[in-house]
Structure 1
Amino acid sequence: PLIMKTHVLKQYIEPILEANIPHLKTIRIGTKALGFWPYRFLTDNDAQELLDLFKKIVDKGYHLAYMAHFNHYKELETDEVKEAVQKIRETGAVIRTQSPILRHINDNPDVWAKMWKEQVKQGMIPYYMFMARDTGAQHYFGVPIVRAWEIFREAYQKVSGLARTVKGPSMSATPGKIRILGVSEINGKKYIVLDFLQGRNPDWVGKPFFAQYNQNALWIDELKPAFSDKFFYEDELEEMLYEENSLLKI
């Protein structure tokens, strides 16, 4: 969204502010702008106008969640990024950080630990480690589920509680956000343990489930249930998707 000029972004944001929607408490903006073009907040000809818009959102009583995409700690090291982060935080916005785990780029626990520590130092909140989505580039960037969990766990062990706000590794899949909790051994056999961080049915959230161990799997659809023919949510998900498709045909 921050590729847009501020006067265009205002056309989306200001009607929301003026509507005073009772149940709306948070406005969330996800963007790579801080890492890609921090000058959006520093020297662009509408940089101050954008910061003023952020402040206006906060002053109206909304929580402005700025979801910053950083893939490597090197993106955090420039003076321009540090200044831009400070300017955003001065508006009252809260910066949370997220990134996919990417082979050839950040598939190393030391990279993640250093990145999370630096984000906390600059006043940001580590939020998510994502798995690379099952799209065209996954064959190059994808990290297997088991290896991603190992990297997350080792990085998590290297940081203080202030950085342990981060969740992951997480797959944003059709049924919801599925987290890899780890690998467990039962009766001498390895299994992958997962749960939902978000689910199409909120009752799925936080309920551990097991998959057969597969050290090469990149995505949930490459995993097989451990103790039954289907994962616990699959029948209900199938019904949901059928109902959605039926509604689309009306």
Structure 2
Amino acid sequence: MSKFKSYNINQLDKIPQLMLLDHRQMEDIRIVSEIYPFKTNNYVLENLINWTNVPDDPIFRLNFPHKEMLTELHYDQLKWGMRNMDEVSYRNLIHDIRLSLNPHPAGQVDHNTPYFLGEKLEGMQHKYRNTILFFPSHSQTCHAYCTFCFRWPQFVNEPGFKMQAKEIDPLVAYLRANPYISDVLLTGGDPMVMSPRILANYLLPLLEVKSLKVIRIGTKSLSYWPHKFVTDPEKDELLQLLGKVSAAGKHLAIMAHFNHYVEFETAVAQEAIFNLRKIGAEIRTQAPLLRNINNKVRIWSTMWERQVQLGCVPYYMFLPRDTGAQHYFAESLETALHIYRGAVQLTGGLCRTARGPVMSMTTGKVELLDIEDDVYQLRFLQHRNSALAFKTFRARGRNEQPKWFDDLACHDERYREFFADQDDYDRNEVQYGNISLQL
């Protein structure tokens, strides 16, 4: 039986595998970790990283911070400040750098937090009509951290950065008052860091809400600690608890984050997938396209093919959100489309459930469909205004290599409504965050 052992930046010297790194590489990890959180564990170290290929190994890049995640200016400021600043000034520098990195993209705090009976519902996001996100306070960590993660502010000690809810009762009341909400997504962090006893406090009350049809759980545990479902002492209790979701007539969707096929090549990961499917869970897989980690056609086609073989459903190829180290991880839209299209063309029909490339932004999830003569054809898969979903529209690039929706401009006046900013939707009472719903 494997016992979970976690390492953060303060235990860096206790990771035996890092003896392979030189002083400069270790210094880079420490400096970058002043901005972005670092956490790994013994399973990742022993099973997923090819230490003969470090620092280029994709899982090492996925889990260990590296210098390029910071701009040269920020790196130099931190390196100098670490040696020359007093503690207060240095902490202020870290805070200012974090604020400059757009810690809450896509209007997470300003536009997505719902109100009920005049009260702001902390730890929830209601962006799309049918789906609400819930951030349990007990899930505000992960078994290990991904370097690209757009939720990095959840894991740093910054006032006002974290989204969390301590009680499930306000969510239950909100759901009963708004029965058109069919889906709840438990997210974090990672809800699967919770013990079955604590998870039950959040999960079981949702089973009593008749209008709720789907419970989703966003997790990286199948990659970073699959023993949770196989050898952990509480695994039977956990699987029994999750099985109650299907038994109650709800659909249980495990939103699994797999960034590379290496993550489900281990026998324990495959057994974990089997055990979850056996209790009625459907596993949907998603990941962003990341430079130096999975930016190859064959990686994505192999990943999707093997996921289907294991009974999983490929769901999304995302693009890195406009936060944190997007400048380092993001490919151009043209490259992203080439990789997505090439991977799809190499796979069979069951792999083609994966949507992509997709950008999750303030007004919705927008999919890049085609590029022709520098004209970008897109559509919203989700939008605050559901009338705009699945309608195609056109854009042109603002620069030579657009990487994000903000790098695009409206092609002509016919498509102006697709480029309306968030304030327009607030005024038109189309969004589901800062206003009380009147539907």
What TM-score does the superposition give when structure 2 sets the normalisation length? 0.53
Q: Secondary structure at the match of 2:216?
A: strand
- Which residue of the partner structure matches residue 381 of structure 2? 197
**Mean Cα displacement is larger for which, 207-216 or 128-137?**
207-216
Conserved? CA contact 1:73–1:118, under 8 Å = yes
Alpha-carbon shift at residue 233 of structure 1 (Å): 2.7
Alpha-carbon shift at residue 236 of structure 1 (Å): 7.4
Rg larger for: 2
- Which residue of the partner structure matches residue 123 of structure 1? 311
Q: Distance in 1 between matches of 2:349 and 2:328?
A: 33
Q: Distance in 2 between matches of 1:166 and 1:73?
A: 15
Q: Distance in 1 between matches of 2:210 and 2:272?
A: 32
1:47 aligns with 2:232: no
1:108 aligns with 2:296: yes
- Which residue of the partner structure matches residue 58 of structure 1? 246
Q: Secondary structure at the match of 1:39?
A: helix
Query: Counterparts in 2 of 1:124-143, with a 5 A limit?
Result: 124-143=312-331
1:211 aligns with 2:395: yes
Give the direction of change, closer, same or farther, for the CA distance of 1:13–1:246 in structure 2 (3 Å limit).
closer
Conserved? CA contact 1:146–1:215, under 8 Å = no
413, 419, 422: which one pairs with 1:228? 413
Q: Distance in 2 between matches of 1:236 and 1:80?
A: 46
Q: Secondary structure at the match of 1:164?
A: helix
Deviation readout 1:150-201 (Å, 9 max, x if unpaired): 10000000000011111111111001000001112xxxx3301110000001
1:240 aligns with 2:425: yes
Alpha-carbon shift at residue 235 of structure 1 (Å): 3.9
Greater strand content: 1
195, 208, 219: which one pairs with 1:5? 195
Alpha-carbon shift at residue 120 of structure 1 (Å): 0.4
Q: Distance in 2 between matches of 1:238 and 1:112?
A: 37
Q: Distance in 2 between matches of 1:107 and 1:246?
A: 37
Q: Secondary structure at the match of 2:311?
A: coil
Give the direction of change, closer, same or farther, for the CA distance of 1:235–1:102 in structure 2 (3 Å limit).
closer
What TM-score does the superposition give when structure 1 sets the normalisation length? 0.91
Deviation readout 1:83-112 (Å, 9 max, x if unpaired): 000000000100010001111000111100
Give the direction of change, closer, same or farther, for the CA distance of 1:52–1:45 in structure 2 (3 Å limit).
same
Q: Distance in 2 between matches of 1:5 and 1:144?
A: 41
- Unaligned 5+ segments in structure 2 are 1-190
Give the direction of change, closer, same or farther, for the CA distance of 1:53–1:246 in structure 2 (3 Å limit).
closer
- Which residue of the partner structure matches residue 166 of structure 1? 354
Q: Distance in 2 between matches of 1:211 and 1:68?
A: 32
Q: Secondary structure at the match of 1:168?
A: strand
Give the direction of change, closer, same or farther, for the CA distance of 1:73–1:232 in structure 2 (3 Å limit).
same
Greater relative CO (CA pairs within 8 A, separation 6+): 2
Q: How many pairs align?
A: 242
Alpha-carbon shift at residue 224 of structure 1 (Å): 1.2
Name the aligned partner's letter for residue 375 of structure 2.
Y
Name the aligned partner's letter for residue 210 of structure 1.
R
Q: Distance in 1 between matches of 2:400 and 2:391?
A: 22
Alpha-carbon shift at residue 232 of structure 1 (Å): 2.2
Query: Counterparts in 2 of 1:87-98, with a 5 A limit?
Result: 87-98=275-286
Conserved? CA contact 2:394–2:415, under 8 Å = no
Name the aligned partner's letter for residue 394 of structure 2.
F
Q: Distance in 2 between matches of 1:117 and 1:181?
A: 22
Deviation readout 1:6-43 (Å, 9 max, x if unpaired): 111110001111x2x23211110010000111011112
Conserved? CA contact 1:69–1:97, under 8 Å = yes
Name the aligned partner's letter for residue 376 of structure 2.
I
Percent identity of equivalent pairs: 43
Q: Distance in 2 between matches of 1:183 and 1:53?
A: 47
Q: Distance in 2 between matches of 1:80 and 1:247?
A: 46
What value does the CA root-mean-square deviation take over the aligned residues? 1.9
